[in-house]
Amino acid sequence: MVAPAILLLLAFFFTPVMLTGVFAFTDMSTSTGIGRGSYVVTPTTLRRLGDRGLGADDAEAISAASYAVDEAGLAAARDAGTDAAFLADIEERLTGETFETARDFELALRDLPSAPRSPRALKSAADLFGQSLVNHRFETRDELAEALAAHAPDVAEEMREALTDDAYTGAVFTTENFTRLATQPETGRLIANTALYVGATLSLFNVGLGLFLALVLFYMPKPVTGLFSTLWLLPRITPVVLYTIMWKWFTWEDGFLPILAEQLGLPAFNYMKGSVVTAWMTMISLNGFIGASFGLILFSGALRAIPLQQLWASEVDGASRLQQIRRVILPQLRWPILFVTSYQTLSLLSSYEHIWLTTNGGPGRTTTVWALEAFKTALSNYSGNLEYGLGAAMALVLVVVGLALSILYLRLFRFGDLVGRPRIEF
Amino acid sequence: MPSQNLLRGAAALLLSCAALPALAQDYTITVWAGGTGDDSNYRMDAIDMAADILEREAAIRGEELSITVESQAWSGWDDFKQAFTLASEAGNAPDLIVSGHEDIGPWSEAGLIVPIEDYVYLDTWPLSSIYPNLIDVASFNGQIWGIPQDAEARVMYWSIPALEAIGWSEDEIASLPDRILNGEFTLYDMLDALKAMQDDGVLEPGMGFGPRVSNGPDYWQFYQAFGGEMADPESGKLVLDTEALTGMYQFFVDAADMGVVSSTHLGMEWDAWHQNAAAGNYGAWHGGTWHYAQWTNQFGLEDFFGTVQYTLIPAGDENGRANSITHPLVYLLTAAAPEEEAAIAAELVAIASEPRINALHAVKSAHLGISEEETLVPLYAENRWLTAASERLAPHTNAIPNNSDFGTYWTAMYEGLEASWTGVTSVEDAVAEVEASVTQALGDDVIVR
């Protein structure tokens, strides 16, 4: 049993966490790509190097292009399978000529009688007679270094080194993501939002409402209990998209709540997005109703495990319902409450899908929580600038916080006692 | 020289030279288009039409060519850009992409797209007829990466009945575009007029101003209205003008304080905004030229020219200018396309850019054309809205910069706007945060003024 468990743990927890950990220390983004980068000298690279002391002459030498119709070029074209008639034309009419730009050379080639119809074929043939270094993708550092040395031998070696470094398009290792998270004021707001969201949802709904419902149902006749338990399960078993759409019908202009409010003379507007307070209330309730059913089931099960004799005995002693709950029931529900609290804290910390589909962190960014921001940063935003590295760093923070909280909960609720050996023999 | 390029080139040569005319060639070209709603189907359908023409031309040359075009339309941007980026990384990208020109920066750097100039002759018709400024917008790092698919202008729309109701004469309404262009009528004059409309009961409270409800290039117009510049024309570096950004944020905060727009306006639903715009519930609202098609086709706006005045975005103060941003979409060739498919796809793009075919998209979706010739196509020429927008707005438009770091700046700018508009932070703090995050992320590649 242990081996499969370890394998599953490895595949679904340690590997993703490890990858997140690695990505978190890179500047990986849409522009760098996920895989290995290439080496490209662009006008932007030259401009950047210009700021760091690359002379205008050097920049010109590097960006200079020349196309020469000579033996070497003709041989290369022959090897690449250039059409024989076209090649013959080139040899006959252009041998010995040189061209300053690709465009000039292409124009000359297009004038040849056997020039291919396809622009791509013609341009590919032109490339065989010499190339500009600028804007070419080199797969390895050595390839670029070699080409640079051949193309612009007069440029100082350290400048060529710097240029090669700057030309790398892939991701590099950095601790910048964590510096940024540690210094930006936005981090504080995200933490406050997340604390409010998790704290309120957990205390009011997942534990509070769940416990309240479980207690109320416990004292009700059996058939009623079954019906209500099933009803409270609906939010959990409804597909997320459908559930969020129902909340939109419920809270948007012309939805159920605003229409009701209008009848009662209360302010009626889009409660989900129209004000910060109602957006928070909507977001907490819609997540809370899902969590409440989870607590309800667990607490109901635990309540049934309490020996009825204890309740009868307390009633004989004259205890009221409240006293019964406080002195007899709640102490015996400590473990389920521990479990619901710790489990739901972790799941709320990392959940964003319901928020994304409803308030989407708005109005403005007032209901944006950590997990939603991590998701948007890494995977989904308007400008399409996906910052995988920063997003991974944010996710890693969640993993660390989650682990720390788990340990704290376990100590706080003395988990060791729960799983320890029973003191009496059965 | 790079081995991969050589291989690709060799493959292209073999394709063009060795392929015998008698061989039947079957190609499947896949196209994904972003930001494509019901009215913009010709972004993909034009490629379909081009395939038909190319097949017929091949038949006349005695070649057998069969092209199947498979297309996907994406209505939003977030999911489209995510899908394309991740599909590319996974090696499942389509051959052709229709996206905003600003994506050229990051996507070319990551090697997700290839320069289309390697596959077409830009000095041959119809590509030679495309406006040079649009070709510039599709260029990055000295290469032309895409072919412009449309252009547009972004517009400040005004409710004529509401202006009349607060006592504006016909002349005043008719001269508004010129007064805005000259800088005589500013954004703050606009707020005063909108406040008057609300105070007089012409409009519901909070409905005076109806800005765009989500992120978009539109918000850069307000930065420009206060004198901001997005990139330095000399060095190509991004520019963060803190004074202009302050002016812009403060304007929206002031608008919310005056009660002409809600402080929680951002994030509202598009449909609700369209309904209010088309029904004349706002005093002024800003959108794009293409919204005209949506309002008249889907939202029941009947007498556009009788009820709506349209102008540039007014200047914010004496430093800024009345302006409008154009955000051309471009056809981009992806690195995922095998060499032969890429060559065919590029030919299809060239054909799809012919005036008559592109005019179908322009007129149906109310976008501006890509060439002078296109404006002569009768369908286009007789369209009152396109002609009007071309004359009044198009000459004053500029585009956002192609720069692989612009996304970072843009995200920070919009987050600052959200934070200050909703009152989470003060304007000063929001600007300081943008400055801090942008300089931290981009270092020397951004100029702070």
Q: Let me know: does B359 contact B369? Beta carbons within 8 Å.
A: yes
Peptide linkage before B126 cis (omega within 30 of 0): yes
Q: Which chain B residues have a beta carbon less than 8 Å from that of A31? A: 105-106, 109-110, 404-405
Please provide the CATH number assigned to the domain covering B3-151+327-398.
Answer: 3.40.190.10
> Is the preceding omega at residue A363 within 30 degrees of 0, hence cis?
yes
Segment B311-322, tens digit of pLDDT: 999 999 989 999
* Closest CA of chain B from A106, distance in Å: 10
| Domain B154-325+405-448, CATH | 3.40.190.10
* B302 min Cα distance to partner chain A (Å): 25
Please tell me the predicted confidence (pLDDT) of residue A173: 93
Residues of chain B below pLDDT 50: 1-3, 6, 13-22
Q: Which residue of B has its CA nearest to A270?
A: B268
Alpha carbon dihedral B228, B231, B237, B240, in 10-degree steps, equals 20
pLDDT computed for residue A1 by the predictor: 64
Q: Is B270 left (phi over 0), alpha (psi -120 to 50) or beta?
A: alpha
Q: Chain B neighbours among A 123-152 (CB < 8 Å)?
A: 123-125, 127-128, 131, 134-139, 143, 147
Residue A385 is nearest to which of B15, B106, B263, comparing CB atoms?
B106
Domain boundaries along the sequence of chain B: 3-151+327-398, 154-325+405-448
Whether residue A337 contacts residue A207, with contact meaning beta carbons closer than 8 Å, is answered with yes
Tell me whether residues A385 and B263 touch, CB distance under 8 A.
Answer: no
Q: Provide the 3-class DSSP secondary structure of residue B310.
A: strand
- Contact at 8 Å (CB) between B116 and B331? yes
Burial B354-367 (b: 16+ CB within 10 A, else e): bbebbbbbbbbbbb
Whether B1 sits inside 8 A of A183 (CB atoms) is no
Nearest residue in A to B408, CA atom: A385
Which tokens in the block code for residue A255? 């939805």
Q: Do A184 and B437 touch (CB under 8 A)?
A: yes
List, as ranges, residues 165-224 from A with C-beta within 8 Å of B.
169, 176, 179-180, 183-186, 189
Residue A19 has pLDDT above 80, yes or no: yes
Q: If you ran DSSP here, which 8-state letter would residue B91 be given?
A: T
Residue A196, pLDDT > 70, answer yes
Using alpha carbons, select from B34, B38, B39 the residue that is nearest to residue B367.
Answer: B39
Return the number of other C-beta atoms located less than 10 Å from residue A373's C-beta.
23
Helix or strand or coil: residue B3? helix
Which B residues in the span 150-179 are in contact with A, Cβ-Cβ below 8 Å? none
Q: What is the pLDDT of residues A99-157, one digit of tens each?
A: 888 888 888 998 888 888 888 888 888 888 887 788 888 999 998 888 888 888 888 88
Instruction: Determine the residue among A382, A386, A387, A388 to mutate to test chain B binding: the one whose Cβ has the most chain B Cβ atoms within 10 Å.
Output: A382
Say if the Cβ atoms of A31 and B106 lie within 8 Å: yes
Alpha-carbon gap: B371 to the closest alpha carbon of chain A (Å): 22
Residue pair B334/B107 in contact by the 8 Å Cβ criterion: no
> How far away is chain B from the Cα of A412, in angstroms, using its nearest Cα?
35
C-beta of residue B360 within 8 angstroms of C-beta of residue B137 = no
The predicted model scores a pTM of 0.87
Considering CB atoms only, which of A120, A134, A366 is closest to B142?
A134
Q: State the pLDDT at residue B22.
A: 47
Residues B135-160 as b or e (16 or more Cβ within 10 Å = b) = bebbbbbebbbbbbbbbbbbbbbbbb
Put simply, the answer to whether B13 touches A253 (Cβ < 8 Å) is no
> How many cross-chain Cβ pairs, A to B, lie less than 8 Å apart?
211
Cα three-residue angle A139-A142-A145, rounded to 5 degrees: 110
The secondary element (H helix, E strand) that includes residue B329 is strand B329-334
| Interchain proximity B110–A33, CB inside 8 Å | yes
* Closest-approach residue (CA) in chain B for A45: B141
In angstroms, the separation between the Cα of residue B202 and the nearest Cα of chain A is 20
> φ, ψ for residue A39 (rounded to 5)?
-120, 115
pLDDT, position B353:
96
Query: Mean pLDDT highest for which of A327-341, A346-360, B5-19?
Result: A346-360
The residue among A385, A386, A390 with the most chain B CBs within 10 A of its CB, best to mutate, is A385
Assess contact for B151 and B370: CB atoms under 8 A.
yes
How many angstroms separate the Cα of B433 from the Cα of each of A222, A373, B415? Answer: 58, 17, 9
In Å, the largest CA–CA distance within chain B is 77
What's residue A422's pLDDT?
Answer: 65
Report whether A219 contacts A321 (CB < 8 A). yes
In the predicted structure, residue A185 carries a pLDDT above the cut 50: yes
- Among A65-69, A353-357, B5-9, B406-410, which is the least confidently predicted range? B5-9
Give the DSSP letter string of B227-257.
Answer: T--SB-TTT--EEE-HHHHHHHHHHHHHHHH
- CB-CB contact of B29 with B68 (8 Å): yes
> Would you say the CATH fold of B154-325+405-448 matches that of B3-151+327-398?
yes
Q: Which of B85, B99, B276, B417 to mutate to test the interface with A (most CBs of A within 10 A)?
A: B85
Could you say which of A40, A123, A360 has the minimum Cβ distance to residue B118?
Answer: A123
Interface check B60 vs A, CB under 8 A: no
In one letter, which amino acid is A102? A
At A425, the pLDDT band (50, 70, 90 cuts) reads low
Residue from the list B77, B110, B264 with its beta carbon closest to the beta carbon of A276: B264
**Both structure tokens of B197:** 């409309």
The answer to whether A352 touches A369, Cβ cutoff 8 Å, is yes
Q: What is the pLDDT of residue B271?
A: 87
- pLDDT at position B21 is 43
CA distance A188 to A228: 41
Q: Distance (Å, rounded) from C-alpha B83 to C-alpha A200?
A: 35
Looking at this protein, which amino acid is placed at residue B75?
Answer: S
Chain A residue with Cα closest to B234:
A47
Chain A CB contacts of B440 below 8 Å: 176, 179-180, 183-184
SS3 content of chain B, % helix, strand, coil (to 5): 50, 15, 35
Min Cα–Cα distance to chain A from B355, Å: 21
